[in-house]
Chain A
Amino acid sequence: MKLLTNTTLKAALLVLLTIAATASVRAQDARIQTSQLDALAAKASETVDVNIDESLMQMTARFLSSKDPDEAKVKALVNGLKGIYVKSFEFESEGQYSAADLESIRVQLRGSAWSKVVNINSKKEGSIEVYLMHVAGNINGLAVLAFEPKEIMVVNIVGPVDLEKLSDLEGNFGVPVLGIEYPRAKRKN
């Protein structure tokens, strides 16, 4: 009976450890879910949905030339990235998306690994929130939530992000030009 109890306890401990390990792996995954926003497409005047997954990122990095200066720059930019995901909706009128829609994104960014590094609230320019995921001292992902009365946009970059080069990524790979000055990305004049 004692042997049975010990075996059961060991098995339970193993299950708990497996669950904990799985949760830890998930926690370190910087991919955020945006499919809950898809219902907004029915009300939007324009929608954009970009999905560049890890295999495509790796393929792009592998086949861009290191000798061509332009391609080499982009190659360095995307090397190691595991995905770029962009989703945006533009509307004809205000009030087409709700606070709950924004919250469905923010709630995923409240984990201990995420931290909000930029928070801009402007009635004229709109609001921009930038979140970084830190794992073991490294940046492992980035999320941008940008919204104004007639527009909502989510940008999610998964993988090691070099903040110094991040602004160079804007305008490439479907990443919109946001004009954000990322922390530590400020250039000396």
Chain B
Amino acid sequence: MKQAIASMLIVVGLMVTTPPAQAKGEGFNEVVKLIEQFYHVKHQGVPLLARAGIKTATTVARISGGPRRQIAEAGSVKVAYFEDQDFRSVAGYPQFKAQMGTALATNWSPLIQVASPKEQEQTYIYLQDAGEKFKVLVVTVEPRDACVVQVTLSPQTLAKLMQTPDEMGNLITTDATKDE
């Protein structure tokens, strides 16, 4: 009996701790991996930042229902941070852009790509039609930090954001990562 309970606990434990398998072409995981490999950096997961007192919109969206309107649909936010690491690369921006394009070519469409190689800042926004909703992937790379955010948006929200695509990345990233 004890053995059966122990086995069950192990199974439950594995279910809780093992992240769900990501389908090929998912986008978020590929981009996080690409950044890690290209710049030789490591991302920090949400739990570490949550412990440090930063609440992501994943948490906020899960408990939302208040008057503040979230850009992202509830529970749809994925965030990966890269803090205080070196994002200078000899290969440079064009090669990173090309590799990201290849990684996302199957299921994602590039919406806007802005880069200031001198300032070492890059912003990419990719879109994926997900039936009744849209997935938006925002990748921001700065000299010492980077952030990957994937959110699901309603077409109504996306239509509004589309009017100023150059501000869209900042709005989504800020919304997904701001302190509550």
Q: Does A34 contact B (CB under 8 A)?
A: no
Q: Is the interface of A mostly helix, strand, loop or mixed?
A: mixed
**Residue among A38, A42, A47 with the highest chain B CB neighbour number at 10 A:** A47
A to B CB contacts below 8 Å, 13 in the list: A41-B93, A44-B115, A44-B117, A45-B116, A46-B115, A48-B166, A50-B166, A56-B162, A59-B155, A59-B159, A60-B162, A71-B160, A92-B118
Chain B residues in contact with chain A, CB under 8 A? 92-94, 97, 109-118, 127, 129, 134, 155-156, 158-160, 162-166
The distance from the CB of B108 to the nearest CB of chain A, in whole angstroms, is: 11
Chain A residues lying within 8 Å of B165, measured Cβ to Cβ, are 50, 52, 173-174
Q: Does A164 contact B (CB under 8 A)?
A: no
Q: Which residue of A lies closest to B129 (CB)?
A: A55
The distance from the CB of A73 to the nearest CB of chain B, in whole angstroms, is: 10
The distance from the CB of A36 to the nearest CB of chain B, in whole angstroms, is: 14
**Contact (A174, B94) CB under 8 Å given A50-B111, A52-B111:** no
Q: Which residue of B lies closest to A65 (CB)?
A: B156
The number of residues on chain A lying at the interface, defined by a beta carbon within 8 Å of a beta carbon of chain B, is 27
Chain A residues in contact with chain B, CB under 8 A? 38-39, 41-42, 44-53, 55-56, 59-60, 62-64, 71, 74, 92, 172-174
Chain A residues lying within 8 Å of B127, measured Cβ to Cβ, are 56
Q: Which residue of A lies closest to B116 (CB)?
A: A46
**Contact (A47, B162) CB under 8 Å given A42-B94, A62-B155:** no
